[in-house]
Each structure stands twice: as structure tokens, then as C-alpha cells.
Amino acid sequence: MNRTSLILCLTLAAICGLAVNLFAAAGEEIYQVEQGFKLIPAVIMITMLCVYVGVGFLSKVSDTSGYWVASQEIGKFGNGAAIASDWMSAASFMGVAGLLYLKGWFGLGYIIGWTGGYVLLLCLITAQLRRFGKYTIPEFLGDRFDCHVVRLLAASVTVIITITYAAAQFKGIGLICGWIFGMSYTASVFFAAGVVTAYMLVSGMAGVTRNQQLQYVVLISAFMIPLWVLIKKAGGAGILPQLEYGPILSGLMEGSVAGPPLSPEEALELRRTFLPWGMGNFYQFIALVFTLMVGTAGLPHIMIRFYTVKNEDIARKSVLWGLFFIGLLYWSSPVYAVLGKFWNPNGGPTVADVIILSAPERANLGIAYIGYLASGAMAAGLSTLAGLLMTGASAIAHDWYATVLRPECTDKQALMVGRIFTAIICIIVIVIALKPPALIAQIVAMAFAIAGNTIFPVVVLGIWYSKSNKYGAMASMIWGFGMTLMAMVGWILGIEFFGPEGLMPATSSALIVCPIAFLLNIIVSNVMAEKVTEETADRSDNILRKLHNLPGNAAEPRNKNVAFFH
């Protein structure tokens, strides 16, 4: 069986579950969700959306400061919640449980990949980036290597990651709007885009961050509450569902389910799903986990979070809290998956799609709760989208425009360009979301590979290896990005090597590409060391002193951009 493409199809299904699929949803009754306008949930959801926009409006940025980095005044819980909410997309909210439902034990690779990456991020990158203290990842790379090519490369990669990742959010949002308002997919894309653009343009990063804290609370509570009811229904004590689904899972492996007894073949299949290598082999597991980890640690919209806090101490602690908040969701997702298998052992992707959205009905939580759950899922999508658009727009407006193209521009112009590009990126994303290329889910999975292969190595070496210079950085970025693209094209063309069973599956390519990118960076940097001018080396040294609190850090000339951003 073609496993990796199965994963992709399932991810595709989970992320993209178009409204049409819902109508056709087969499976048990409780695993269906009804399409069409629902008054009470709709009112609740609209109210919540107004609250989101209202919060953004109240924390409106009047004096142009803090559009990018929220005036660097966010605390550790707040920033932790913002990291979590930035991270947890509509796909995480609705898709992970479905993935675990279909992939069983193998699906856990996604969970540890997406959480373990934060450990890397914390110990290798966080504190140093915060000490650098400026605003975007391309800016860090551009300054560290004193090279506009590196800056532009990094900015372009950031924009590419942003756009693909953001387009996928609309899929999830479309699913929700179809469910609550009975909107068509096209209408919901415009609806969501309107909401997100409105509050972003009004408020900037401060509003987005404040919203993300609120949205985290809404989404995590909406996600977890049904569990207590459901676990009781399945025979648990209903105290801590995350610890109570074990016996049910053990039962599943012995073939005991809620409905009529399974045939021996079905029971065997079910058992295989939850055995380690039933759905994928050891190499595939490790490659997936590694790719997701370095990808997570290399995602620009997560890294940018550390600039929004007061000092590096809070930056570190906010990763700790962020990971804990993310953990709450990932400890709960398997419960849904296992209960899903318990009640409906043979469901396919259509059941997996709606495993979360159908939860309130299964738990008899009432019509109002449906609205709350939808607001939570919507919050997940919107907050990720806002964080992404912010990062993408800052890469263009700050790193392309204000630093490279028009260094002489004024504060007002830079901010204006920032707003314009927020809107432009939003439009591009809408266009892609409306007419998605057939393979959008693959491309999104590729966002992790791109981040892990391109951004992660160059940032880590930039911080921890003083000999790394612009030539090494360029070589490793071009290698990482090129190989990821090649793997993607190879995958689409069906070349064995990049295929699901191949040595370098496109979505898990980092296990091979990322270490080579490190190596290449080191080798090229050493070979080309002679070519680096004194001036460039001086500037790099100055940045390194700052990163590692070394003595002799010369104060940088405070150009107006720096003044503006404070």
C-alpha cells in the first residue's frame, strides 16, 4: 500500500474537507454533521468574531509603534498562549484527531514532531534571537551575514511559507462556515478574509497578540469540554479523560468495540493500526519526526514571537508555557481518535474529517455549544492566519522595502507599505485558496520541509558558529530550498526515490537534506573565508557579541527605522 500518499490524501481530506464532502459523509449517524444555517450557533459565532475584532480595535495602535512587535511588552503566559494559538491552526484543531484516528500509532509521529521541535527552538535559538532584539528572521540573517542576498532569500522563503500555510487555513475555515452558516466555500473564504484583514489592519501585532491569548482560551476550552462527557459515555470515570482512555485503547487492540463484534479480519486490522509499524516503517517514522521537528523550530512565524516579549528570560519561559499550552491539545486529540475507533472502528476519511465537529452532538451538549466549538475552531484558523500574514508582510515591507529597496523611507511610509502588503498577501492567499492547486496539502506539508531545510540550519549556525559567513549561508539556503523543491517535483512526477516508500519522501526530506545543509554551510564558509571583507567581518562580529553577551559590542547607529520600531 502506498502509505505516504495515503497520509497525504488523509491530510488533504482532513484539511480540505470541502462542504460537499460533508453532505456525502457516510458512517454512523453520530459521525455526521448537518450542513446549513443554524441560528443560535451563528449568533454565538458572530458575537465571538465581533469580540475578536473589538479587542483588536481597543488595542489599536495609534502612534505607529508596535505594529510588528507589540511594543515588546507581552508577558510569559500571554506570549505562551500566543505561541500556542499561532501554532494551532484549523488543521491542528480539526485534523490531528482525524489523523490519529486513521493512522493509529504511526500518527503519533506528528504529535512528537510538532512538540519536540520546541525543545530545539528553546535551547538553540530563543535566547540569542531575543538578545538580537530586532524584528524579523530575514533581518537577523541579513544583519548577521551582512548580506542583502541572504536577507532577500530569507524573506522570500518566509513569504512562500506564509502563503502556502495560510491558504490551507482557509480550507478549515470554509468547513466551519459551511457547517454553521451554510455558506458556500467561496463565500466563507471572503468572509474569513474580511474578518482577519479587518482586525489586523486596525490593530497590528499588539491586537493580534492580545486576540491570540483570548482565542487560545476559547479554542482549548471548546476542544476539551466534550471529552469529559464522551469519556463517561464510553465507560470512564470522567475525571481526567487524557488518562482514562488507556483501557479503551487496550480493549481496541483486543478487538473489543462498542458496536457489534468485529470479524477476525477487522479485529486484526484494528490491532495493526495501533501496533508500532502497522501503518509505516521505522525509517518513515524517524524521517517524519525529524522533519517536523526541525521544521517547527524553523518556522518564521513562531520565531518572530520572541521579539514581542520584554526580555530573554520571558522569551525562554514563554516557550515553556507555549509548549504546555500546545500539549493540552495534543494530549486531548488521541482521546477523540480512540473514542472514534471505539464507536466507529471502520470509518474512513469522511469520519475522520468531522471527528471534532461532531463531538458536541455525540456528547449531547446542546445547540449553543456547537456555536462555541465553531468559534474555537474559527479562532484557531484566524489566529494562525493573522500571525502568518503579519510575518509575511513584515518580511516584505520591513526586509525588502524599508531595508533594501528604500532605506531612506520614513516611518509613515514603512508602516503604510506594511499595511498594503498585509492586504496584498491576503489577496494572494485568497486567490490561491479559491482555486487551490490540486496538491495544496502536499505543498503545505512541504512548508515544514522548507523551514527545516532552509531556515533552521542557517539560523542555528548563524548563532553558534562564528566562522559561518554569507557564502556558506547562501550555499546552504539554496541547497535546502532547491532540494525541497526538487523532492516536491519528484514526488508529483511519481519518482520512486522521493515517493512515499522512497529513501527521501518529499514531506520527510529533512532527515537527509538538513544535516547536509549544515555541512555545506560549514564547508563553504571555511573555503570562502578569505573572500569576506574586513568590514563585513566586523559587522558580523558585532552581532555575535550581542547574541552571546560578549564584551565590546559597539552600539549600532540608531537609524530611524530602529527608532521607529521602538
Partner 1 sequence: MAIKKRVYVNFFRPSTPSMKAEARITSIVIVLWAILSYGIPLLIYLVGLGDPSGSGESFITRSRFLGFPLHYWLIAQGCTVGYVLLCKLYCTLWDKRVARGNPRRKSL
User: By the 8 A CB rule, do 457 and 523 touch?
Assistant: no
3 state SS for 470-485: HHHHHHHHHHHHHHHH
- Name the one range near partner 1 by CB under 8 A: 135-143, 382-390, 402-410, 535-543: 535-543
C-alpha cell at 209: 497578540
Q: How far apart are CA 536 and CA 563, in angstroms?
A: 24
Cα distances (Å, whole numbers) of residue 530 to 142, 178, 293, 355, 459: 20, 60, 35, 59, 22
319 binds partner 1 (CB under 8 A): yes
- Name the one range near partner 1 by CB under 8 A: 83-91, 310-318, 443-451, 557-565: 310-318
Give the 3-state secondary structure of residue 74: strand
141 binds partner 1 (CB under 8 A): no
Cα distances (Å, whole numbers) of residue 386 to 158, 292, 302: 15, 22, 12
Cα distances (Å, whole numbers) of residue 292 to 112, 447, 529: 9, 10, 32
99 binds partner 1 (CB under 8 A): no
410 binds partner 1 (CB under 8 A): no
Choose, by CB under 8 A, the member of 39, 239, 554, 563 that binds partner 1.
Answer: 554
111 binds partner 1 (CB under 8 A): yes
564 binds partner 1 (CB under 8 A): no
148 binds partner 1 (CB under 8 A): no
544 binds partner 1 (CB under 8 A): yes
Residue among 437, 403, 434 nearest 417 (CA) = 403
CB of 460 to partner 1, least distance (A): 9
List alpha helices for 275-410, DSSP H.
Answer: 282-297, 300-303, 312-343, 349-353, 359-362, 367-394
CB of 249 to partner 1, least distance (A): 6
549 binds partner 1 (CB under 8 A): yes
Choose, by CB under 8 A, the member of 247, 261, 437, 515 that binds partner 1.
Answer: 247
C-alpha cell at 54: 473589538
CB of 327 to partner 1, least distance (A): 6
Could you tell me how far CA 193 lies from the centroid of its own chain? 18
In single-letter form, the type of residue at position 259 comes to G
- Name the one range near partner 1 by CB under 8 A: 21-29, 206-214, 273-281, 384-392: 273-281
Q: How far apart are CA 139 and CA 224, in angstroms?
A: 39
Choose, by CB under 8 A, the member of 40, 58, 275, 431 that binds partner 1.
Answer: 275
The DSSP bridge partners found for residue 74 are 309
194 binds partner 1 (CB under 8 A): no
Nearer Cβ to partner 1, position 23 or 324? 324
Count of residues in contact with partner 1, rule CB under 8 A: 65
Choose, by CB under 8 A, the member of 38, 103, 131, 470 that binds partner 1.
Answer: 131
Q: How far apart are CA 103 and CA 535, in angstroms?
A: 54
**Given CA atoms 189, 194, 197, 199 in this order, what sign does their dihedral have?**
negative
Applying CB under 8 A, the residues found at the interface with partner 1 are 105, 108-109, 111-112, 115-116, 118-120, 122-124, 127, 131, 242-247, 249-250, 253, 272, 274-278, 282, 285-286, 289, 293, 311-313, 316-317, 319-320, 323-324, 327, 330-331, 334, 463-467, 537-538, 540-541, 544-545, 547-550, 552, 554
